[in-house]
Chain A
Amino acid sequence: MELWFSEMHTENVKFSIKVDKQLCCVQSQYQRIEIFESYEFGRFLTLDGFMMLSEKDEFIYHEMITHVAMAVHPMAKNILVVGAGDGGVMRELAKYSQIEKIDVAEIDSEVVRVCKEFLPKTAVGFNDSRVQIFYEDGLKFVRSKDNEYDIIIVDSTDPFGPGEGLFSKEFYGNCFKALKPNGILINQHESPFYTKDAAMVKRTHKRVVQSFDTSRVYQAHIPTYPSGHWLFGFASKGLHPTKNLDATRWNALNIGTRYYNTNLHKGAFYLPTYVEELLSDVEDVE
């Protein structure tokens, strides 16, 4: 018998991973949560049938969503992470001794419970004493915050489903308010490749651009996500993602990474022409 997990990347493109066995399947109030054991990617987590992370390539995503902002901000102490129920972002953040507080707003406590049980490689991030989890809608959590965080990292699901509010203009506006004057917002920004995803990239970028003075997009290669070509958003109240990169300071911290380094940091902001065009379409609107 062969067991395959398949996800439709478009109506006409199917991505499949051969599965050894299913380890867990629960339906929470928000979504269906599943963990599979695979031959090629190790364990992987899916929500409503969509790949969230695999043990083999999660390091790319988690390093890129975390260290870019940490290398730019001169002294980030208070961090808000929205989503991130698997713990991977917190694992990366925990590498910085300067950080004093890591608030996590995750809507679904079941995701955290399942990840703690089945994905210890990322869930280790929950063990850090600076981490405090709030089981709340990120949109609601951030609404009441004012001038409180140095960095906000939005590790959300796709914009179709419970994560939709985290791609809204009101959310980005609320984040702007929640950030301190030097604050940085990092959000997972979907893929620019397939038509429907590209439309969402455009829409998301437009909303961030309208909310922040500085808004740039950077990329990484994540094999298990649609097309493998993935984007992240870097928005700030003034800090520039490459001009304000302090490579010497960051390298002196001796943070262990497998994907991120300060040269790649600069390179990640050099985008393919078609992506630049996609983004610039919405930059001049206002």
Chain B
Amino acid sequence: MNQNKTPIRDALEELENNRIIPFDVPGHKRGKGSSNLREFLGKKCLSIDVNAMKPLDSLSHPVSVIREGEELAAAAFGASHAFFMVSGTTGAVQTMIFYTCKRGDKIILQRNVHRSVLNAMVLCGAIPVYIECTSSEKLGIALGSSVAAVERAILENPDAKAVFINNPTYYGICSDIAGIAKLAHKHGMKVLADEAHGTHFYFADSGNLPSAAISAGADMAAVSMHKSGGSLTQSSFLLCGKDVNANYMRQIINLTQTTSASYILLSSLDISRSHLALNGKKIFSDVLKLTAYAREEISKIDGFYAFSEELIDGDAVFDFDKTKLAINTLGTGLAGIEVHDILRDEYDIQIEFGDIGNILAYVSIGDNHKNIEMLISALAEVKRRFARTELNIMKQEYIAPIVRAAPQEAFYNPKKMLPLAQSVGRICAEFVMCYPPGIPIIAPGEEITADIVNYISYAKEKGCSLIGPEDMSIENINVLE
């Protein structure tokens, strides 16, 4: 297919030229009714903020330009079908789970998934089966799933409907998704991939990036086009392989997705897809050069460790996404979140996130050498000015969960609020997580342990932004009665 084509953008431009008189929503009428908004967002932006109509197709029932845009996207990503999503990758992840699982159905997954996965289980009543997780002691992070561990989970739960895999994790770690897909299919299970951080895998140049899920045999993948792909925040793709019923999938999407999809978001998906299809390989080779350079320079600063492919062990770290600039900070005596805060407060540099032991600088399509150079120099300064010898620095990010109830049951059944310190041994009825990265520290249905309470207190003390509980100060936590 001709990837120069951008049918949604073209339809919007034609609509603008046709000067249709709008007696439909949105009420700002191409911005005329909201001059402040028009001034702030720009005339163009307001003029394409229009509602579904015949020449523009409709996201919930696409037959013309959106359909063509989805076909172009499917071809660009090598999928059987692609859906435009305007409810973020969260929407795409939830849809994959709603498609696969009904109440009581089991799904095999690693615990270090994004909250959207567990949220979906609260909504649909699916039961998580966690794969034993390997974590790196040095880095304090959870690694990928080894095929052997997935196989054990599959054999112990032959009735499970699906296996859910991060491809890659936030830190860039990939499991053997092709091996896992083969295994799962042999046992009649679907393979769902969270590729929130893996859009660029579809545009690799001669194997310089890990395998993309769909090409490795996964049945569905939630792809954050707005992260490494360059489209607008909240826009995303849901990709499907050949064994997915796309029309049923659309019904599932329409259960929760808005009927007033933003054409600003849709056109951003359309235009970015064309850009990546035409220039993606070049773009991501450039990103790889930037991150390789950054790692080389950061390795000269004592105390920081910008990890990469040396972690690959063919098992729990099957592959590594070298566009990710993840840096372990513990050698400087500083927690990742502290480095994150220093970079922002002292050096006007905003990085993606800092957690207990690591920071992640998101390097993408929009970066250049100058900014990388400033980041490296700032890290050199952080080391020179702030490094310390701290004895009781916490290392472990990953605490294996003890699941005592299904997420839905734990979330909706009668609960009561207890001070955090008194909650040890109880079953948690809500989520607690640092955001970003948004991976729950504890989820509904899991037992609260002393380790969890310590972790939450430590993260709070170090300045992590904790979210999730009803009590926004995170002093108290809801537990099952």
CA distance A174 to B300 in the complex (A): 14
CA distance A168 to B297 in the complex (A): 18
Given contacts A144-B300, A162-B370, contact A168 B377 (CB under 8 A): yes
Contact check, B381 vs A165: say whether CB atoms are below 8 A apart: no
B481 CB-CB contact with A under 8 Å:
no
Contact check, B384 vs A139: say whether CB atoms are below 8 A apart: no
- Contact string, A112-153, partner B, CB cutoff 8 A, digits 1/0? 000000000000000000000000010110011000000000
- Contact string, B361-405, partner A, CB cutoff 8 A, digits 1/0? 000000001100110111011001100000000000000000000
Q: List residues of chain B with CB within 8 A of the CB of A174.
A: 377, 380-381
Cross-chain contact of A177 among B346, B376, B384 (Cβ < 8 A): B384
Besides A168-B348, A170-B374, 9 more A-B contacts (Cβ < 8 Å) are: A139-B377, A140-B373, A140-B376, A168-B378, A169-B346, A169-B378, A169-B381, A173-B377, A174-B381
Contact check, A171 vs B377: say whether CB atoms are below 8 A apart: yes
Cross-chain contact of B373 among A144, A165, A169 (Cβ < 8 A): A165
Contact check, B300 vs A170: say whether CB atoms are below 8 A apart: no
Q: List residues of chain B with CB within 8 A of the CB of A162.
A: 370
Determine which residue in B346, B347, B374 has the highest number of CB atoms from chain A within 10 A of its CB, and name it: B374
Contact check, A170 vs B380: say whether CB atoms are below 8 A apart: yes
Q: Give the size category of B's interface with A.
A: 10 to 19
A100 CB-CB contact with B under 8 Å:
no
Q: List residues of chain B with CB within 8 A of the CB of A139.
A: 373-374, 377
Contact check, B370 vs A170: say whether CB atoms are below 8 A apart: no
Instruction: Determine how close the nearest CB of chain B comes to the CB of A177; give it in whole angstroms.
Output: 6
Q: List residues of chain B with CB within 8 A of the CB of A48.
A: none
CA distance A164 to B374 in the complex (A): 9
12 A-B interface contacts by CB (under 8 A):
A139-B373, A140-B373, A140-B377, A143-B376, A143-B377, A164-B374, A168-B377, A170-B347, A170-B380, A170-B381, A173-B384, A174-B377
CA distance A167 to B377 in the complex (A): 12
| A binding-site residues for B, Cβ under 8 Å | 137, 139-140, 143-144, 162, 164-165, 168-171, 173-174, 177, 210
The 8 closest A-B pairs by CB, nearest first: A170-B377, A170-B378, A173-B381, A170-B381, A139-B373, A165-B374, A139-B377, A143-B377
CA distance A170 to B369 in the complex (A): 16
Contact check, B377 vs A165: say whether CB atoms are below 8 A apart: yes
Determine which residue in B300, B377, B384 has the highest number of CB atoms from chain A within 10 A of its CB, and name it: B377
Instruction: Determine how close the nearest CB of chain B comes to the CB of A187; give it in whole angstroms.
Output: 16
- Contact string, B252-276, partner A, CB cutoff 8 A, digits 1/0? 0000000000000000000000000
Q: List residues of chain A with CB within 8 A of the CB of B373.
A: 137, 139-140, 165
Q: Which residue of A lies closest to B293 (CB)?
A: A140
Instruction: Determine how close the nearest CB of chain A comes to the CB of B332; give it in whole angstroms.
Output: 15
Q: List residues of chain A with CB within 8 A of the CB of B348.
A: 168-169
| B binding-site residues for A, Cβ under 8 Å | 297, 300, 346-348, 369-370, 373-374, 376-378, 380-381, 384-385
Q: List residues of chain A with CB within 8 A of the CB of B346.
A: 169, 210
Instruction: Determine how close the nearest CB of chain A comes to the CB of B310; give it in whole angstroms.
Output: 24
Q: List residues of chain B with CB within 8 A of the CB of A169.
A: 346-348, 378, 381
Instruction: Determine how close the nearest CB of chain B comes to the CB of A170; give it in whole angstroms.
Output: 4
CA distance A167 to B370 in the complex (A): 12
Q: List residues of chain B with CB within 8 A of the CB of A140.
A: 297, 373, 376-377
Q: List residues of chain A with CB within 8 A of the CB of B374.
A: 139, 164-165, 168, 170-171
Contact check, B300 vs A173: say whether CB atoms are below 8 A apart: no
Q: List residues of chain A with CB within 8 A of the CB of B385.
A: 173
Q: List residues of chain A with CB within 8 A of the CB of B376.
A: 140, 143
Instruction: Determine how close the nearest CB of chain A comes to the CB of B341; give it in whole angstroms.
Output: 15
Q: List residues of chain B with CB within 8 A of the CB of A165.
A: 370, 373-374, 377
CA distance A168 to B376 in the complex (A): 12
Instruction: Determine how close the nearest CB of chain B comes to the CB of A208; give it in whole angstroms.
Output: 14
Instruction: Determine how close the nearest CB of chain A comes to the CB of B379; give it in whole angstroms.
Output: 8
CA distance A243 to B228 in the complex (A): 55
Instruction: Determine how close the nearest CB of chain A comes to the CB of B348; give it in whole angstroms.
Output: 7
Instruction: Determine how close the nearest CB of chain A comes to the CB of B289; give it in whole angstroms.
Output: 14
Determine which residue in B300, B348, B376, B381 has the highest number of CB atoms from chain A within 10 A of its CB, and name it: B381
Q: List residues of chain B with CB within 8 A of the CB of A137.
A: 369-370, 373
CA distance A54 to B347 in the complex (A): 34
CA distance A177 to B385 in the complex (A): 10
Q: List residues of chain B with CB within 8 A of the CB of A143.
A: 297, 376-377, 380
CA distance A162 to B300 in the complex (A): 24
CA distance A168 to B379 in the complex (A): 13
CA distance A210 to B369 in the complex (A): 26
CA distance A171 to B73 in the complex (A): 43
Q: List residues of chain A with CB within 8 A of the CB of B384.
A: 173, 177
Instruction: Determine how close the nearest CB of chain B comes to the CB of A66; give it in whole angstroms.
Output: 25
Instruction: Determine how close the nearest CB of chain A comes to the CB of B474; give it in whole angstroms.
Output: 30
Q: List residues of chain A with CB within 8 A of the CB of B370.
A: 137, 162, 164-165
Q: Which residue of B lies closest to A30 (CB)?
A: B370
CA distance A165 to B297 in the complex (A): 16
CA distance A100 to B377 in the complex (A): 28
CA distance A164 to B370 in the complex (A): 8
Instruction: Determine how close the nearest CB of chain A comes to the CB of B376; give it in whole angstroms.
Output: 7
Q: List residues of chain A with CB within 8 A of the CB of B300.
A: 144
Q: Which residue of B lies closest to A174 (CB)?
A: B377
CA distance A99 to B332 in the complex (A): 38
